[in-house]
């Protein structure tokens, strides 16, 4: 009996060793396959550089031949001819009473302080590193917003969970989204071909690597379930950028984030023409409570002759464009424009709520010097003139978590949008 027990124990030990070896071999195989996939994706993402610049914030900026940038990997752009500058001019409709205080200071990109520059004929692209891809939940979705749960499902969705919608010319446009919380100023119309705003720069707390916090402009068209959108602003996104710095970003989609589009140049689509701006680069300096306030002017306008959507920063400084051929509805115009903030988290609209902050982290009601703002809110129609929208309204998915307030100081002074909030607190459990 004793011998049988010893033999049994011995056999079990051998089996355990063999099983552990098999697991080790399998783990090594999986690791090797993953490394190979990461290497392959890095080769696709990072184009051959003519020159590289090390930024003091740790980024590596590659100067890439303008004709070899990621945009031309898109099937619809294989034979695309670059439009080097917009063919239109947007006329200002400013009056003395509509101008806001211009004492706020402009922001700049950290990499420019490193003393380097990209030579003519190239564009600067932030290099994607192995650690960036290793942190991604999925290589296939790296650089993309997480897709929406089905917004209008008849099961597992309460009435309160469903997004609010507006109708324009019988087209349903969604406002709220299931795993995002927004606080915005919005306008609805038929023929918006541009929008602009001076966006206050802060560095909000992001409590989880899965979360992000953004301040931006959206231009949208199409049905709520598969809308098209072009977007730009600043964000803190640890999962994408590997840190908690506030960074310039752009985004586009043609199917409500399901599969198309991406942040910055992490997929093909956006055509960059400016050799001095890096999409995804850190911005500085950030505003501080009751201290100096910093802002950047963000403008997105469609070129009527090409249907390309041009991004400008500052005073008419073109960065590049989303080609009109990427879109269906947005080839003609946008019907919905939004300005404000957005927090993505698996823990919005739930309890316990995320503690990721929006804007400065203070509510909109705290106003100048405390809350984040957008000034000089403008739209452009086919008159090609900048105008304050004829109709605006505010929307907040979770008023007690993040709020929006279109503040009018006095008669004759243009409203200022304030937005933001701390996330979880006693009113937002």
* H/E segment holding residue 106: strand 105-106
**Calpha distance 185→408 (Å, rounded):** 13
CA distance 120 to 219: 31
The arithmetic mean of pLDDT across residues 196-214, rounded, is 97
Give the residue carrying structure tokens 């985004």. 251
HSE, CB side, 13 Å, CA atoms: give it for residue 214: 28
Report the percentage of the chain scoring pLDDT > 90.
69
Smallest CA-to-CA distance from 214 within 108, 338, 106 is with 338
Residue 165 pLDDT: 62
Q: Render pLDDT for 42-58 as a digit per residue (tens, 0 to 9).
A: 988 999 999 999 999 99
Say which of 196, 228, 231, 398 is annotated catalytic: 231
Cα of 348 vs its chain's centroid, Å? 18
pLDDT in tens, 212-245: 999 999 999 999 889 999 999 999 999 999 999 9
| Furthest CA-CA distance within the chain | 102
Q: Which residue has the tokens 């909000």?
A: 204
* Residue 96 clears pLDDT 70, i.e. is over it: no
Alpha carbon distances (Å) from 160 to 147, 173, 300, 349: 20, 17, 33, 10
Model confidence at 115, pLDDT cuts 50, 70, 90, reads confident
Q: What is the pLDDT of residue 95?
A: 47
DSSP assignment of 164-183, as one string? PEEEETTEEEE--BTTEEEE
What is the pLDDT, as a whole number, of residue 134? 85
231 is catalytic: yes
Of residues 163 and 406, more confidence is placed in: 406
Q: Assess whether 342 carries a catalytic annotation.
A: yes
Q: Per-domain residue ranges for the chain?
A: 49-91+105-421
Q: State the catalytic residue, choosing from 342, 368, 398, 414.
A: 342
* pLDDT number for residue 31: 56
Q: What is the pTM of this model?
A: 0.87
335 burial level (CB within 10 Å; 0-12, 13-18, 19+): buried
Q: Is-cis flag, bond preceding 226, omega within 30?
A: no
Find the range with the poorest average confidence among 211-220, 309-318, 360-369, 371-380: 309-318
Residue tagged 């823990």 (tokens)? 347
User: Which pLDDT belongs to residue 113?
Assistant: 87
Measured distance CA(310)–CA(320) in Å, rounded: 6
Lookup: tokens for 410: 């006095």
Residues 6+ apart with CB under 8 A from 108: 283, 284
d(CA 212, CA 296): 20
Please report the pLDDT score of residue 153 as a whole number: 34
Helix (H, G, I), strand (E, B) or coil at 47: coil
Looking at residue 104, its pLDDT comes to 64
- Across the range 297-309, mean pLDDT stands at 97
């Amino acid at each position: 009996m004793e011998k049988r027990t010893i033999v049994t124990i011995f056999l079990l030990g051998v089996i355990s060793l063999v099983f552990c070896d098999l697991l080790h071999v399998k783990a090594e195989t999986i690791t090797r396959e993953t490394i190979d996939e990461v290497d392959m994706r890095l080769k696709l993402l990072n184009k051959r550089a003519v020159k590289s610049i090390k930024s003091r914030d740790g980024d590596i900026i590659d100067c890439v031949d303008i004709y070899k940038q990621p945009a031309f990997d898109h099937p619809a752009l294989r034979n695309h001819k670059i439009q080097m500058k917009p063919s239109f001019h947007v006329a200002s409709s400013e009056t003395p009473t509509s101008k806001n205080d211009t004492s706020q200071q402009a922001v700049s990109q950290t990499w420019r302080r490193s003393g380097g520059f990209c030579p003519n004929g190239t564009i600067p692209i932030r290099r994607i590193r192995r650690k960036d891809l290793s942190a991604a939940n999925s290589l296939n979705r790296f650089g993309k917003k997480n897709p929406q749960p089905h917004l209008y499902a008849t099961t597992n969705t309460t009435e309160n969970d469903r997004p609010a919608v507006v109708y324009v010319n019988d087209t349903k446009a969604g406002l709220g989204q299931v795993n995002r919380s927004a606080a915005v100023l919005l306008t609805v119309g038929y023929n918006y071909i541009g929008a602009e705003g001076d966006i206050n720069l802060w560095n909000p707390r992001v409590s989880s690597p899965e979360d992000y916090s953004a301040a931006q402009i959206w231009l949208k068209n199409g049905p709520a379930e598969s809308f098209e959108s072009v977007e730009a602003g600043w964000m803190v996104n640890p999962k994408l950028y590997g840190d908690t710095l506030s960074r310039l970003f752009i985004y586009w989609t043609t199917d409500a984030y399901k599969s198309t589009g991406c942040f910055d140049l992490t997929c093909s689509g956006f055509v960059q023409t400016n050799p001095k701006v890096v999409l995804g680069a850190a911005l500085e300096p950030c505003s501080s409570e009751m201290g100096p306030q910093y802002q950047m002017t963000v403008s997105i306008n469609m070129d009527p002759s090409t249907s390309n959507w041009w991004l400008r920063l500052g005073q008419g400084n073109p960065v590049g464009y989303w080609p009109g051929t990427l879109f269906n509805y947005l080839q003609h115009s946008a019907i919905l424009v939004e300005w404000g903030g957005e927090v993505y988290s698996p823990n919005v609209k739930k309890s316990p709520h995320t503690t990721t902050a929006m804007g400065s982290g203070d509510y909109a009601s705290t106003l100048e010097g405390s809350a984040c703002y957008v000034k000089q809110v403008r739209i452009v129609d086919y008159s090609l003139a900048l105008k304050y929208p004829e109709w605006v309204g505010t929307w907040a998915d979770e008023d007690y978590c993040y709020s929006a307030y279109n503040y009018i100081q006095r008669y004759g002074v243009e409203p200022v949008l304030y937005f933001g909030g701390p996330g979880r607190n006693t009113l937002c459990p």
